[in-house]
Amino acid sequence: MQYRLCSRGLLCLAALLAVASGAVAQSVSAPEPLWPKGAPGALGSADGDTPTLTVYAPATAKNTGAAALVCGGGGYSAIAFDAESIPAAKWLNGLGVTAFVLKYRLAPAYRHPVEMQDAQRAMRWVRANAKRFGVDTHRLGVVGFSAGGHLAATIATHNDQGNPAAGDTVDRHSCRPNFQILLYPVITMDTLNHGSSRGNLLGPNPPADLLELLSNEKHVTATTPPAFIVHGKDDERVPVANSRLYYEALGKAGVAATLKLYDHGPHGFGLADGAGGTPVDPVLATWPGLAGEWLKTSGFLDAATTTLRAPSPEGEPQAGYVPVAEHRGAAFRVRHRDLAGRLHPVPQ
């Protein structure tokens, strides 16, 4: 392993985190095509026409059975594999979670609904192949960054249980994730939208009904999966209001949600560990630990699946609720109640 010196002469946080968490994939598969005979609507058979999954598997002894689809960002015109998808997959492996890194089709060749179809198909594919990878289909979530966060929230709010009569056996499975972890996500296509993501996904001058359909905060229901959301308050590319809108919608629907806001969080910080050109920031780099604790206390890392309760209103945590946690300068307060109602500080 190579170590780099930071400006203060300390070992780079990326190396320290890798050593401390064991955040290294045990094995990495060759990319698996979501449609072996060609994706529907494909314009050709080139790499960009072929959506795939690459499987990052934890060590067999560490495998918890939990899994997550990983959707890197890039404004729907690129995918940040090196800065977001691959580091997230290795972080998940460190938790004993199998990661499925999605390569979805992109603009300008492809627009909605292709990206959503690719992500929905990916969820179905994982469930159809669960035994191959030791995956519990009831503990399969999605992790998304930026525009990939929009894609993750899209399948969290637009999903179905599959078609039992489908000739393609993959399509018989549900495409609903069981949890969602969203990093500085694009959520809305309304006035607070990220312009390039909206243009790439929907094209110029999209009709009002399409803007409504892809504004995911407007489609949250009681069946939307629980969420852990991270955003920087000073994000200049995707306004933090996106995450707040989604969090509020989840709360109104009675869906468990945690919102972790940082005073300083430039867009695209990834794991904030220096990987793929992301910043090295010890404060921002606390979010993977908090998200891992959330997965653990929510039961997603346990063999027995549990059901999360609703989020609390603003103010002091209430029994059975998961509260907002906002970063305040150099110190922050995070408390939560587990599903038994016990109040805990999150380890720092």
| Residue 88 in domain | yes
What's the pLDDT band for 195 if we cut at 50, 70, 90? confident
Confirm whether 271 is domain-assigned: yes
Single out the residue of 70, 62, 64 nearest to residue 89, CA to CA: 70
Omega into 113 within 30° of 0, i.e. cis?
yes
Of 250, 268, 308, the residue nearest 83 (C-alpha): 268
Q: Tell me if 71 sits within 8 A of 143, measured CB to CB.
A: yes
Q: What is the mean pLDDT of residues 14-26?
A: 48
Over residues 161-174, the pLDDT tens digits come to 999 999 999 999 99
Average pLDDT value for the chain: 85
In a domain, 2, yes or no: no
Q: Tell me whether residue 168 is in a domain.
A: yes
The number of domains in the chain is 1
Does residue 83 belong to any structural domain of this protein? yes
Residue 4 resides in a domain:
no
What pLDDT, on a 0 to 100 scale, did the predictor assign at position 310? 42
Tens digit of each residue's pLDDT (9 = 90 or more) over 211-270: 999 999 999 999 999 999 999 999 999 999 999 999 999 999 999 999 999 999 999 999
Exposed / middle / buried, residue 51 (Cβ in 10 Å: 0-12, 13-18, 19+): buried
Residue 6 in domain: no
pLDDT of the residue at 58: 96
Residue 7 lies in a domain: no
Of 144, 134, 115, nearest to 61 by C-alpha is 134
Over 60: is that where the pLDDT of 18 sits?
Answer: no
CATH of the domain at 339: 3.40.50.1820
Domain of residue 141 covers 13-345
